[in-house]
Amino acid sequence: MNLIIKNPATGAAIAELTSDNKASVRAKLSLLQQGQKEWALHPVKERLACIIKFGELVKQHGEELSVILTRETGKPIQQSRNEINGAQNRIDHLSSHAERWLRGEVLVDEGLTHEKISYEPLGVIANISAWNFPYNVGYNVFLYALVAGNAVLYKPSEYASLTGKQFEKYLHKAGVPENVFQCVIGPGDVGQQLLEEPLDGYFFTGSYGTGRHIAQTVAHKLVPVQLELGGKDPLFVMDDVADVKQAAINAAEGAFYNNGQSCCAVERIYVSEGIYDNFIDAFVAEVKTYIIGDPTNQHTFIGPLTRQPQIAVLDQQVTDAINKGAVLETGGQAMEGQGYYYQPTVLTNCDHRMKVMMEESFGPIIGIQKVSSDEEALSLMQDTDYGLTGAVFSGNEERALKILEALNTGTVYWNCCDRVSPNVPWSGRKNSGLGSTLSAQGIRAFVQPKSYHLRSS
């Protein structure tokens, strides 16, 4: 079966790729099983050199790659450029730290018995990925896995396959051997094929439903499983923010950047009652300034959704909220004409009976709720099955930290949001996932420790 790639801005088919099947997945896995052993013997420095070269090639071909990303996902071109340039920080960070993180450690070096640890790669790992930030979430996994000495069977999302093929092309050009990195193309049933093969680890980025299915299916293999899943990330805007208008502008960007299709997008906002009306006015005014349209135009901020079926999800959330008493301040429906466009939508007077406050929207819609105390805000922020990020905007660090320390999320933000850094781990709790990418912890995910007890007589 072939995979038809459509441009979300027009709905038109722009490419056709041959999908993988059971036989081709097996052949690629067998190739990688041979190559991995040799790859693991190279010093970290040499593996790193290939990754650095890969980064240079991506930079050199940045504009061409941005156009491909925009054509297949609908991401506004300036945001595609930002993503490609921004993801380079993973490579810079790895090149500064990976050798140290992967070096073995001597724990006891005196007396007769010596004790030390070495870090060995897992083997051939599956990297099953999402479409929304294919550079960021791909780099978080395959670059770290490769530097640690693993081979990678990479399955890009069916909505980011042209980009995935570019990763393969430039990794090979940069010196990562063909028997160390292979891309498999296709929708979910091709991903399912990977679950049935004897991979040495499963590293998944995507929705909670698929992540849970993967964890359940491969559980009997007793190999590492890492899941980077969705979120319903809250932002609380306190009444002591220095500038309500600026807080509203920043909050709106956190909610609407990449059309709201970010795992750590602001998905629900709580606002102290003292500034509620001013905040709503500024927020809605800001959203109304967004330029919506052709994602190849460099001034566009809101392009089409990547996936057409998401329109129905957003429609349901809007209708449900309005039926339960929310006020529609702007937007509220798909746009007429070609492409999968949805109006940036702001719902106020929201509460937790509404889907828009409880279920991941993954689109350009936001629910806002008034709160009368910090305690009420915290309790609402905690009322979720997810645990990816949580944010507080406040002029008072101590007051903000009281909330942030209590949140059961992998990441917290004070006066910022929707942000990822290679310096610190990226991890979800509860239905947002299992394990960490990035930082030293993100590379240790791709190795297994071996303990040596060495007695000299």
Nearest distance, CB of residue 451 and ligand NAD, angstroms:
31
Closest distance of CB 288 from ligand NAD, Å: 26
Residue span binding ligand NAD (CB under 6 A) among the ranges 35-43, 100-108, 110-118, 209-217: 209-217
For position 250 contacting ligand NAD by CB under 6 A, the verdict is: no
CB of 10 or CB of 207, closer to ligand NAD:
207
Pull the structure tokens for residue 358. Answer: 């409880």
Tokens of 229: 């899943």
3-state secondary structure of 389: strand
Interhelix angle 44-60/62-73, nearest 10 degrees: 80
Query: Taking CB under 6 A as the rule, does residue 210 contact ligand NAD?
Result: yes
- Selecting among 158, 168, 228, 329, the annotated active-site residue is 228
203 sits near ligand NAD (criterion: CB under 6 A): no
- Of 309 and 337, which has the nearer Cβ to ligand NAD? 309
CA atoms within 13 A on the CB side of 133: 29
Among 86, 177, 187, 395, binds ligand NAD (CB under 6 A): 187
CA 320/CA 325 separation, integer angstroms: 9
Is 207 a binder of ligand NAD (CB under 6 A)?
yes
Site string for ligand NAD, 120-159 (x = CB under 6 A): --------xxxxxx---x-----------------x-xx-
Q: Which of residues 328-387 bind ligand NAD (CB under 6 A)?
A: 360, 362
Instruction: Enter the DSSP assignment of 373.
Output: S
Phi, psi of 67 (to 5 degrees): -65, -40
> Is residue 228 within the footprint of ligand NAD (CB under 6 A)?
yes
SS3 state of residue 160: coil
Q: Which one of residues 19, 192, 441, 448 is an interface residue with ligand NAD (CB under 6 A)?
A: 192
167 SS3 class: helix
Active site residue 115: no
Least gap, CB of 456 to ligand NAD (angstroms): 47
User: Does 263 sit near ligand NAD (CB under 6 A)?
Assistant: yes
Q: Among 141, 214, 356, 392, which residue interacts with ligand NAD (rule: CB under 6 A)?
A: 214
Nearer to ligand NAD, 70 or 394 (CB): 70
Instruction: Give the angle subtended at the CA of 25 by the CAs of 19 and 30, to the nearest 5°.
Output: 150
DSSP for 362-430, please give it: -SSEEEEEEESSHHHHHHHHH-SSEESEEEEE-S-HHHHHHHHHH--SSEEEES--S---TTS-EE-EE
Q: Does 266 bind ligand NAD (CB under 6 A)?
A: no
92 CB-near residues (< 8 Å, 6+ apart): 55, 422
CA-based nearest residue to 367, from 388, 346, 385, 393: 346
Residue entry with tokens 């297994």: 448
Helix, strand, coil % in the chain, rounded to nearest 5 = 45, 25, 35
Q: Integer distance in angstroms from the first to the last C-alpha of the chain? A: 63
The contact pattern for ligand NAD, residues 78-107, with x = CB under 6 A and - = no contact, is ------------------------------
Count interface residues toward ligand NAD (CB under 6 A).
Answer: 31
Contact 382, 407 (CB under 8 A): yes
Part of the chain binding ligand NAD (CB under 6 A), chosen from 5-13, 183-191, 283-291, 293-301:
183-191
Under a CB-based contact definition with an 8 Å cutoff, are residues 274 and 239 in contact?
A: yes
| Residues found near ligand NAD in the complex (CB under 6 A) | 128-133, 137, 155, 157-158, 187-188, 191-192, 195, 205-207, 210, 213-214, 228-231, 263, 360, 362, 388, 428, 433
Catalytic residues: 228
